[in-house]
């Protein structure tokens, strides 16, 4: 039996292995993903992003506990950075989630960015699909704790949470406008610390100043103390509000179309590129062009023109 069939029968090891195959770029993985695709699209996807150490993993742990109380099965994808120097990674988000490790209603997968810059790995979407096909009701995606415009997670998750901590104080003005636009829900975590009220107030004020049309979603600023589980029920209730908004306003259709369009164009780009690239690398054309550019005897503009003219719609398979 193939991995996809085993996964649909509830085989955990098969699911874990397919995630691995996806992450390692095995060609066989897409055959399995094809079979799983009709069984996906049911899970509700929550993204959690924010600066390093803001308490994202601790929040994920608490949110998971809350959803488990509601009887939901929860998948978690936790992304940490790959070291650009060694290609290795320490994936430490699980430390905060250990109590769910042996709960059969929870599946946690740690992923390394492997060179991807958008806060998640290239494999994240497919790993989410595997969890979706496994029957997870909610899938929580924790991004790398990086910058402020994690566009990738916004595309992927139905509800994007941006986690902040108090004490940003005057710096709050420095927060790029981008971050205001990506959040569906703001969380000021570590509310036990000084300055939480002020951070909540300032964020709320900035959000209200933002341009919005009638009927648009206005993100709320929630306060949590993840390490003690304070404010979590309210946060999960706000997720439910946002989900209801998506479905009742029709925004879900726009979200889904934009997401699927991005997935398709990305995949097409990658496959077309690989096909041409592998071929011209194998027959030496690529190397010739690069050395030609060094002496200016070849320009890349004409080279690409002629590659496309020569290969478009008639690209023979490269033999393995």
- Contacts with another protein, residue ranges (CB under 8 A): 12-13, 16-17, 19-20, 23-27, 82-83, 86-92, 94-95, 98, 101-102, 107-110, 112, 114
Q: Does residue 100 belong to the site contacting ligand GTP (CB under 6 A)?
A: no
Q: Least CB distance from residue 130 to another protein, whole Å?
A: 11
What contacts 212, CB < 8 A, 6 or more positions away? Answer: 218
Q: What residues numbered 38-77 form the site for Mg ion, per CB under 5 A?
A: 56-57
108, interface contact from ligand GTP, Mg ion, another protein, none, CB < 5-8 Å by kind: another protein
DSSP string covering 119-135: SS-TTHHHHHHHHHHTT
Q: How far is CA 297 from CA 15, 128, 192, 286, 294, in A?
A: 52, 47, 65, 14, 8
Stretches 82-90, 102-110, 220-228, 283-291: which one binds ligand GTP (CB under 6 A)? 220-228
Q: Least CB distance from residue 171 to Mg ion, whole Å?
A: 22
Q: Does residue 93 belong to the site contacting Mg ion (CB under 5 A)?
A: yes
CB nearer to ligand GTP: give 29 or 54: 54
Among 64, 121, 189, 199, binds ligand GTP (CB under 6 A): 189
- 252-271 core/surface letters (b: 16 or more CB in 10 A; e: else): eeeeeeebeeeeeeeeeeee
Q: Does residue 58 belong to the site contacting ligand GTP (CB under 6 A)?
A: yes
Structure tokens at 173: 């003005």
CB nearer to ligand GTP: give 10 or 53: 53
Which residues on neighbouring strands pair with residue 110, listed in sequence order? 78
Cα three-residue angle 274-31-75, rounded to 5 degrees:
105
CB atoms within 10 A of CB 106: 20
Q: Using an 8 Å Cβ cutoff, are 82 and 146 in contact?
A: no
Residue among 159, 132, 129, 139 nearest 243 (CA): 159
Q: Least CB distance from residue 78 to another protein, whole Å?
A: 10
User: What CA–CA distance (Å, rounded) separates 114 from 20?
Assistant: 13
Stretches 31-39, 87-95, 243-251, 267-275: which one binds Mg ion (CB under 5 A)? 87-95
Q: Least CB distance from residue 76 to another protein, whole Å?
A: 9
Q: Least CB distance from residue 286 to another protein, whole Å?
A: 20
User: What CA–CA distance (Å, rounded) separates 95 from 215?
Assistant: 40
Q: Least CB distance from residue 157 to another protein, whole Å?
A: 21
State how far Cα 88 lies from the chain centre: 20
CB nearer to Mg ion: give 94 or 275: 94
Residue among 75, 74, 238, 76 nearest 142 (CA): 76
Task: Map residues 136-175 to x or -, x wherever contact with ligand GTP holds by CB under 6 A.
Answer: ---------x------------------------------
Q: Least CB distance from residue 94 to another protein, whole Å?
A: 5
CB atoms within 10 A of CB 46: 28
Stretches 56-64, 102-110, 115-123, 263-271: which one binds ligand GTP (CB under 6 A)? 56-64
CB nearer to ligand GTP: give 117 or 312: 117
Under the rule (CB under 6 A), what is the footprint of ligand GTP? 52-58, 93, 96, 145, 189-190, 192-193, 225-227
Under the rule (CB under 5 A), what is the footprint of Mg ion? 56-57, 93
């Amino acid at each position: 039996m193939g991995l996809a069939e085993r996964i649909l029968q509830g085989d955990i090891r098969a699911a874990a292995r397919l995630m691995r195959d996806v992450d390692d770029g095995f060609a066989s993985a897409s055959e399995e993903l094809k079979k799983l695709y009709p069984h996906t699209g049911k899970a509700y996807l929550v993204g959690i992003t924010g600066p390093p150490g803001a308490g994202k993993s601790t929040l994920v742990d608490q949110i998971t506990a809350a959803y488990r109380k509601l009887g939901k099965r929860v998948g978690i994808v936790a992304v940490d950075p790959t070291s650009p120097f060694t290609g290795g990674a320490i994936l430490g988000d699980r430390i905060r989630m250990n109590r769910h490790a042996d709960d059969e209603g929870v599946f946690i997968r740690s992923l390394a960015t492997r060179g991807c810059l958008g806060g998640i790995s290239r494999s994240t979407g497919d790993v989410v699909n595997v969890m979706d096909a496994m029957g997870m009701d909610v899938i929580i995606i924790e991004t790398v704790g990086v910058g402020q415009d994690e566009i990738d997670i916004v595309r992927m998750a139905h509800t994007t949470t941006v986690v902040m901590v108090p004490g940003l104080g005057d710096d709050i003005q420095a927060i790029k406008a981008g971050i205001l636009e990506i959040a569906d829900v703001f969380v000021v975590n570590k509310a036990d610390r000084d300055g939480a009220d002020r951070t909540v107030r300032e964020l709320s004020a900035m959000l209200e100043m933002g341009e919005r049309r009638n009927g648009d979603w206005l993100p709320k600023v929630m306060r949590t103390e993840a390490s003690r589980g304070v404010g979590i029920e309210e946060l999960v209730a706000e997720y439910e509000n946002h989900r209801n908004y998506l479905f009742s306003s029709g925004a879900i259709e726009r979200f889904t179309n934009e997401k699927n369009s991005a997935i398709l164009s990305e995949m097409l780009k990658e496959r077309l590129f690989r096909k041409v690239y592998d071929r011209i690398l194998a027959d030496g054309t690529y190397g010739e062009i690069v050395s030609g550019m060094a002496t200016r005897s070849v320009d890349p503009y004409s080279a690409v023109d002629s590659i496309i003219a020569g290969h478009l719609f008639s690209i023979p398979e490269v033999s393995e």
